[in-house]
């Protein structure tokens, strides 16, 4: 099942066909009876740089100038830049359309509203036509010059090339600490480990993108999905830079919800833990009942204390509410999944095919 998008009325039905592989694209127009000069004329592979954008008008001009310059320096590839406007409320769409008109290699996908970064990234991957795909943020914290090194690793035979952050001094102390805690907790709970200090910035092949397209879930935790599909993987280390312009869109509350999404998407251990806690509390209750029975038979009945009784009731009530809350997280995920709503809705597409 592939990520679904709903077109506005008036657009052509169906999706455009994906281009032929790089080795045979240019050989498709040979007339019958005329043999080509060589068996197959090779065409450079196409690299798709996919960029989710939300309120990034301040940084986009600098982003395009740096990215296009870096991509043009890579020998032996063609490229396209696929930008997804995720319901921006500033002038992001206008800047993207201006860049699209100035450079035919830039395409713009405009979503009907803000669906979130994971949905925007899913839309970008679905729209990309390249043989290799590189997701990147527009804030330039991930250096575009690293793409050339990723391409070299791909040419060595790797399907996935991760960009690992070795220096996160540009982030706040709180963000560094919470990120480190998240990776430890997630990898301890989940059967699929996420490589630490890696984001969405990576190179993936067409085979990886096609594998991701088969995953049906609507609530998508892309870091986990990238790790789940596997494939041969290499790493490149780099130093994370400060934002070139603009402000981050992630608050502490959004990061907390993002972490909860990651844990509940790839592990049922939190529910299992509460089974163990319930078993332990029940066992303690049985031991306590036996002790009270023995004490009553030997020393008689004394006046019970209301303070200890109230404490026990509040403790058990709190434990039960926490367990119900964790169970509710999983039930909520089932609720959203069974409705089968599309991950995103495409309002319009702008730009020509490379």
Q: What is the pLDDT of residues 90-112, one digit of tens each?
A: 888 888 988 888 888 889 999 98
Taking each helix axis as running N to C, give the angle between helix 146-155 and helix 60-72, from 0 to 180 degrees, rounded to the nearest 10: 40
Q: Residue 4: which pLDDT band, with cuts at 50, 70 and 90?
A: very low
Q: Which residue has the tokens 């050989």?
A: 27
How many other C-beta atoms can be found within 10 angstroms of the C-beta atom of residue 313? 10
Cα–Cα distance for residue pair 213/122, rounded to 1 Å = 9
pLDDT at 134: 92
pLDDT at 119: 86
pLDDT at 49: 92
How many other C-beta atoms can be found within 10 angstroms of the C-beta atom of residue 207? 13
Letter string b/e over residues 279-291, b meaning 16 or more CB atoms within 10 A of that residue's CB: eeeeeeeeeeeee
Kindly tell me if the per-residue pLDDT of 84 is higher than 50: yes
Q: What is the mean pLDDT of residues 27-52?
A: 64
pLDDT at 336: 78
Segment among 60-64, 106-110, 212-216, 260-264 with least mean pLDDT: 260-264
Residues constituting the chain = 354
Q: How many helices (H) and strands (E) does the chain have?
A: 10, 8
Q: Which residue has the tokens 């509390």?
A: 281
Cα–Cα distance for residue pair 323/332, rounded to 1 Å = 14
Q: For residue 27, what is the DSSP state?
A: G
Cβ–Cβ under 8 Å, residues 346 and 7: yes
Q: What is the mean pLDDT of residues 29-44?
A: 54
At residue 232's C-alpha, the angle toward residues 226 and 233, to 5°, is: 65
Over the stretch 162-171, which tens digit does the pLDDT of each residue have? Answer: 888 876 666 6
pLDDT at 137: 86
Cα four-point dihedral sign 84, 91, 198, 225: negative
Q: Residue 37: which pLDDT band, with cuts at 50, 70 and 90?
A: very low
Sorted by where each begins, the domain ranges of the chain are 25-36+47-252+346-350, 269-339
Kindly tell me if the per-residue pLDDT of 33 is higher than 80: no
How far are the Cα atoms of 91, 152, 232 from residue 148, in angstroms, in the given order? Answer: 31, 6, 19
- Token duo for residue 2: 């592939």
Cβ–Cβ under 8 Å, residues 126 and 2: yes
Cα–Cα distance for residue pair 288/279, rounded to 1 Å = 14
Nearest CA to 90 out of 67, 135, 60 is that of 60
Domain 25-36+47-252+346-350 has CATH 3.40.50.150: no
Residue with the bigger pLDDT between 29 and 45: it is 45
Cβ–Cβ under 8 Å, residues 258 and 224: no
pLDDT at 352: 67
Sheet (strand 132-135) strand order: 233-239, 160-167, 198-205, 132-135, 46-53, 78-85, 106-111, 346-350
Q: Which residues pair with 236 in a beta bridge?
A: 163
Element (H, E) at 236: strand 233-239
Residue with the bigger pLDDT between 332 and 131: it is 131
């Amino acid at each position: 099942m592939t990520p679904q998008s709903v077109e506005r009325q008036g657009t052509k039905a169906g999706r455009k066909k994906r281009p032929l592989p790089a080795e045979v694209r240019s050989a498709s127009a040979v007339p019958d009876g005329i043999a080509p000069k060589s068996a197959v004329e090779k065409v450079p592979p196409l690299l798709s740089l996919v960029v989710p954008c939300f309120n990034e008008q301040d940084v986009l001009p600098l982003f395009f100038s740096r990215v296009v310059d870096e991509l043009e320096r890579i020998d032996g590839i063609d490229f396209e830049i696929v930008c997804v406007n995720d319901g921006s409320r500033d002038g992001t769409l206008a800047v993207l359309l201006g860049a699209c008109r100035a450079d035919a290699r830039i395409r713009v996908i405009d979503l009907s509203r803000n669906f979130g970064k994971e949905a925007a990234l899913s839309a970008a991957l679905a729209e990309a036509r390249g043989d290799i795909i590189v997701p990147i943020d527009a804030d330039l914290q991930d250096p575009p010059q690293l793409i050339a090194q990723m391409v070299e690793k791909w040419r060595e035979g790797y399907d996935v090339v991760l960009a690992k952050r070795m220096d996160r001094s540009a982030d706040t102390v709180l963000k560094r600490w919470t990120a480190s805690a998240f990776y430890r907790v997630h990898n301890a709970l989940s059967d699929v480990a996420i490589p630490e200090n890696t984001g969405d910035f990576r190179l993936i092949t067409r085979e990886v993108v096609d594998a991701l397209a088969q995953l049906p879930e609507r609530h998508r935790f892309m870091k986990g999905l990238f790790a789940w599909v596997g494939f041969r993987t290499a790493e490149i280390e780099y130093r994370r830079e400060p934002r070139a312009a603009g402000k981050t869109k992630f608050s502490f509350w959004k990061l907390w919800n993002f972490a909860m999404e990651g844990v509940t998407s790839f592990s049922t251990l939190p529910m299992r833990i509460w089974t163990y806690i319930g078993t332990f509390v029940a066992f303690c209750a049985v031991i306590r009942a036996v002790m009270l029975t023995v004490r009553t038979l030997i020393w008689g009945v004394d006046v019970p204390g209301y303070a200890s009784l109230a404490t026990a009731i509040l403790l058990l009530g709190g434990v039960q509410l926490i367990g119900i809350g964790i169970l509710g997280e999983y039930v909520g995920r089932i609720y959203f999944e069974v409705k089968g709503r599309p991950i995103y809705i495409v309002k319009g597409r702008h730009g020509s095919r490379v």
